[in-house]
Amino acid sequence: MSFDLLSTVEEGGCSAKLGPEVLNKLLGRLNFEIDKNLLVGIDTHDDAAVYKLNEEQALIFTTDFFPPVCSDAYTFGQIAVTNSLSDIYAMGGEVLLALNLIMFPTQKIPLQVLEEILNGGQDKINEAKGLIVGGHTIEDYPPKYGLAVLGLVHPKKIVTNAKAMPGDVLILTKPLGSGTIMAGKRLGLIEDQDYVSALNYMKQLNKEAREIMLRYQVQAATDITGFGLLGHLSKMALASKVYLHLDIDKVPFMKGALELTDEGCIPGASFKNQKFVESQALRHTLKNCNYSRKMLLYDAQTSGGMLICAKEEIAQQALNCLRITYPESAIIGKVSK
């Protein structure tokens, strides 16, 4: 049925996440238990937790949910699930089981809209070869949807944000700009074809990127979501104790995103991400970068691409494989001591 979900929100998708600076301060005051089988925990701010079951198997555990990122209910369901599964792929895992997380106002929005959201999500979990086995639903406005997900990975094949090595090449698989495009849609500033193109990027699973990472024995990666490219790069730099050098001219942007930023259409989440990155104890410089490009590097991505650290000798081969499924994949930088 026709119901515009964007009419319920001011910030949707990953733009609605708590800012990374606030989150870091909060987590820094909490005490987390240590377990020898917890192979990846909260300390490196990685994409998901990994818990060793035995010498051959480890569980990946993650969750993600958010308010509507687009107008159409079925498409929102597809994007929310694609985004939730992305953390599993970023850790090198395969999707096993998922639980629906649903917040929906049955007195304000027709129930058929929720049915369409869930149908969109189910189609994406089917594409991922995973199983939705239940969930939890509460009354809430605006609506929100996502998953809690379990994945599986070999303990010696975990991909993390803490294994970037000097000499690695940085590959980005999807262009940036989804947060800005969605803001432009809410303001009526974006061309329809650019809006649809952005939705198609967000609906695309990172499953094939995971397969290529395993094929080329990639050890370090992260998916680019709510903290923007520079936010996730800063977390990787700190976790891996390396410098990450970005060639800004090589970074791909979604069609229409730069034009929107030139017109002053910059989501609030971009400024939150900028404040976080600039607060880190890093040598952080942006040389020869105009303002619009800089703010898109902070743009909160919903269901964004993978940032992959590939060995220099196989980087071009990996890029060629990635471009079959993700045509705008690009080498955007390198890692150094």
Q: Given the residues 14, 70, 309, 321, select the one marked as catalytic.
A: 14
Identify whether 321 is a catalytic site residue: no
CA nearest neighbour of 143 among 124, 127, 126, 121:
121
Q: How far is 42 from 86, CA to CA, in rounded Å? A: 18
Are the CB atoms for 315 and 170 separated by under 8 Å? Answer: no
CA nearest neighbour of 57 among 94, 85, 87:
94
Strands 243-246, 330-336: parallel, antiparallel or unpaired by DSSP? antiparallel
| DSSP letter string, 48-81 | SEEEE-SSS-EEEEEEEEES-SSS-HHHHHHHHH
Helix, strand or coil for residue 310? strand
Q: H/E element holding 220?
A: strand 220-223
What are the residues whose beta carbons fall under 8 Å from the beta carbon of 209, sequence distance 6 or more?
A: 89, 173, 305, 306, 308, 322, 325, 326
Strands 169-172, 243-246: parallel, antiparallel or unpaired by DSSP? unpaired
**First vs last C-alpha separation in the chain:** 55
Residues serving a catalytic function are 14
